[in-house]
Structure 1
Amino acid sequence: MNDFLFWAAAVGPALLAEGLLARYEVLAYGAGWRRPVTALPQGVPYARGAAPDAPPEAYLVYLDGIGKRRVRDSRDGGQLVKAVLASAPELRVLGQVQPYSPLADPLADRPVWAWLRRRVGLLLFLHNVMQIFVAADRRYRPLYNRAVGSQIADQLRLAGYRPGSGIPVVLLSYSGGAQVATGAVDELRARLDAPLLLIMFGGFHNGANDLTRVTHVHRLTSANDRVERVGTWLFPQRWPLLRHSAWNRAVRAGKITVHRLDPATHVGPRSYISPDALLPDGRSHLDRTTDTVVALVRAQRAETEAARDGTS
């Protein structure tokens, strides 16, 4: 009982503070009080992989889970990005986008958060969790979608993407990054006129964002992923009964394909991107997720080229 009271006293005020502060960034963006950050730290490239002087097969933007708090990749996300680059050097991959900051301001680089990280590391995760719910809130969702969609578009341009080029843009998202990926669609289409492919694994999102302008959505999931399952229960737009929600309209339109990655878990030593958990065929969970992502991207590129040849 004493332990419970201790944690309630410690975490309760933190949750209240985060609930009040989580909206600040999106409101600051909307009011024009602060400009989004576009420059990257010295030594950090705008993209890795295929050379920028020749059109790549596709641009892939990785939107990490709630562990993302700096420009450089998180530990697990970095493993996936490296594996994708090793398997598909024809891609240009961006991993620096800040899904949980409408101002594109890395959380770990802010002085107050750097101080807190050394003392109350849990707050860094609470911040990003709260940002997911701000992005899902119907009052703030349009503004949040525009802010992060613009951030992604800016980073793609700086990485060499030419609007109207027809080169596919792939939004690869993990966990809460799926909320950001689905929300960025309209802004990216408006600013880049790019074919958009969404690949989400362990996707935690509310299902309210319109997916009409997406080429396709691939949902990588597992029966052992409890976090994703909570998302399907928590948000009514994901319930099959709400047939007119954006997610269910996309399901009926055939835009969503489900890929089973059992027995992967959302996090931990048997997660989707674990290099240690092994499958019966000898591959690691990381290998299987990488192989699946690369195969889907290449299939989309082939479809794009076939469609272009058919209309030429």
Structure 2
Amino acid sequence: MGVHVAEKQQLPVADTGAGPDTRGYLDYLLTNRNFTAPAVAAAVASITPEISGRPLRVLDAGTGAGGALPELIALVRAAGGPGGTVVAVDVDERAVEVAGRQLGDLNLGAAPVDLRVADLRDVAAGAVTSGERFDLIWSSDVVWPTTFDNPAEVVQTLAGALVPGGTLALFTTNYYQSMLLPGHSRLERLIRTASELTWGLPGDGPTHYERLGAWLRAAGLADVAVRAFPLAGMASEPAARAFLEQIVWPEMRHAVASHGRAAGMSETDIVRAGELLDPEGPAWVGDDPHTYVVQPTLLWTGRTPVA
């Protein structure tokens, strides 16, 4: 999606409406965390580190609102032994504050977490320099072409910060393959294109946002695999409703206004999209009791070879 957790605040905001609308960042973090929580929990639970018999070192690279922290902490605790830790980093100080509150709200006790404001690339490089590499690196909706000019290079950096046999896990909510406007599929495809144009996303090529598996392989990782953890909910369900009403539909409306015509939308299409996405209008999609959302989240994993 055009609103990404770790470094979203670095993206340009255009007063003319031509660029992405990056306001409401903290609200996005919390709303997205609540909706995706089941998929994140299942994805982390599916990871089985090959390292055993010693404490785990885990990096949450771009922690955002800390959505994966409870599960990553549980993984470290299950490994047992003193010294296990989750290093959770984000470049945005506000995100780190939100993640810290998440830990406090969950009452996890003396959780083995080192929460920092930092660039994930610097943390990975520091792990190599210090020799304190990680057994698992988790990153969710962070390695992304509008966040990094060369995502494959970032994956290479993260892979280099793993111990032999360590796992790099790249989670994506797979926003642009979601069902967000069911019953209006042709219009939704056009709005998706408008959103991609608004965010300046590549249409294809080596930096396309669906190339995570290719980036893992290019980094020399083995056993590259992908698993799906689908989310689905009726718009009447609180988490799904908040996700649609506070994130999805406003983003769609902005995309139509910004790049609808460039995406090939006719004037009729633009009018119809406006009717569906206007909460004050009689055709607002939010008033349809059959509205729902499906998000096919994906987890890509790869392991560093063991000599």
TM, length-normalised to structure 2: 0.33
- The structure where strand makes up a greater share of residues is 2
Higher helix share: 1
* Higher RCO by CA contacts (8 Å cutoff, separation 6 or greater): 2
> Taking structure 1 as the reference length, what is the TM-score of the superposition?
0.33
